[in-house]
């Protein structure tokens, strides 16, 4: 037996202004996207913003449904919309923000496993890292690649 270790690195910013401009713009877009959330069941409003290789930003927000599994997270709403509308462009980054009643969560909201898997696939598709920014009121986290939030990514059968 050999003990193995997987190292994950990320950056924590205590103020949004510490982010590079492109990342700050994406973080702001994710906060802005929260206004598109339809969350009558959870009241948890999630916004996401995807950056494409040409700089285009596509927003998404969680959409809930009385038939619960029919709803969709903000990140997948944004990624699927971005990819469907721009099939020839790569997704290079995604930011997300969440809260209730217009108030951001204190700690950054983190993406669910299904959204991580979808991020992973767009990263595999482009062959380039997709950065993930998680926005909270107290701090912001940036992961440079999906591998850092989804180790041992499932690739293909
Ligand atoms: N949600 C997201 O939009 N993104 C995630 O990564 C996790 C959860 C949404 C789904 C649901 O509308 C609400 O948050 C509560 O789970």
Give the model confidence (pLDDT) of 110-145 as tens digits: 999 999 999 999 999 999 999 999 999 999 999 999
Q: What percent of the chain has a predicted confidence (pLDDT) above 70?
A: 99
Radius of gyration of the chain (CA): 15
Give the model confidence (pLDDT) of 53-102 as tens digits: 999 999 999 999 999 999 999 999 999 999 999 999 999 999 999 999 99
Q: Ligand 1 centre and the CA of 5: distance in Å? A: 30
Pocket of ligand 1 (CB under 6 A): 39, 42, 44, 46, 62, 64, 71, 73-75, 111-112, 115
10 Å CB burial of residue 150 (0-12, 13-18, 19+) is buried
Q: What residues contact 49, with CB distance under 8 A and at least 6 apart?
A: 26, 27, 29, 30, 32, 33, 57, 58, 59, 60, 78, 94, 95, 96
Q: For position 155, what pLDDT does the model report?
A: 81
Q: For position 65, what pLDDT does the model report?
A: 98
Q: For position 156, what pLDDT does the model report?
A: 74
Task: Point out which residues pair with 49 in neighbouring strands.
Answer: 59, 95
Mean pLDDT value of segment 39-50: 98
Provide the greatest CA pair distance for the chain. 51
Residue whose pair of structure tokens reads 């469907």 in the numeric block: 84
Active site residue 22: no
Q: What percent of the chain has a predicted confidence (pLDDT) above 90?
A: 98
Task: Point out which residues pair with 133 in neighbouring strands.
Answer: 95, 142
Q: Where are the alpha helices (DSSP H) in the chain?
A: 21-33, 74-85, 113-126
Does 157 score more than 80 pLDDT? no
Supply the pTM of this predicted model. 0.97
């Amino acid at each position: 037996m050999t003990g193995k270790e997987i190292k994950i690195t990320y950056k924590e910013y205590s103020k949004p202004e510490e982010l590079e401009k492109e990342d700050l713009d994406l973080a702001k877009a994710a906060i802005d996207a929260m206004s598109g959330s339809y969350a009558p069941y959870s009241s948890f409003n999630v916004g996401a913003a995807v950056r494409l290789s040409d700089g285009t930003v596509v927003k998404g927000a969680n959409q809930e449904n009385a038939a619960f599994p029919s709803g969709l997270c903000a990140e997948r709403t944004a990624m699927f919309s971005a990819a469907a509308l721009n099939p020839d462009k790569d997704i290079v980054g995604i930011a997300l923000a969440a809260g209730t009643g217009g108030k951001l969560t204190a700690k950054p909201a983190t993406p669910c496993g299904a959204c991580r898997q979808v991020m992973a696939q767009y990263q595999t598709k482009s062959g380039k890292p997709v950065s993930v920014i998680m926005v909270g009121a107290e701090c912001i986290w940036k992961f440079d690649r999906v591998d850092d939030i989804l180790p041992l990514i499932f690739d293909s059968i």
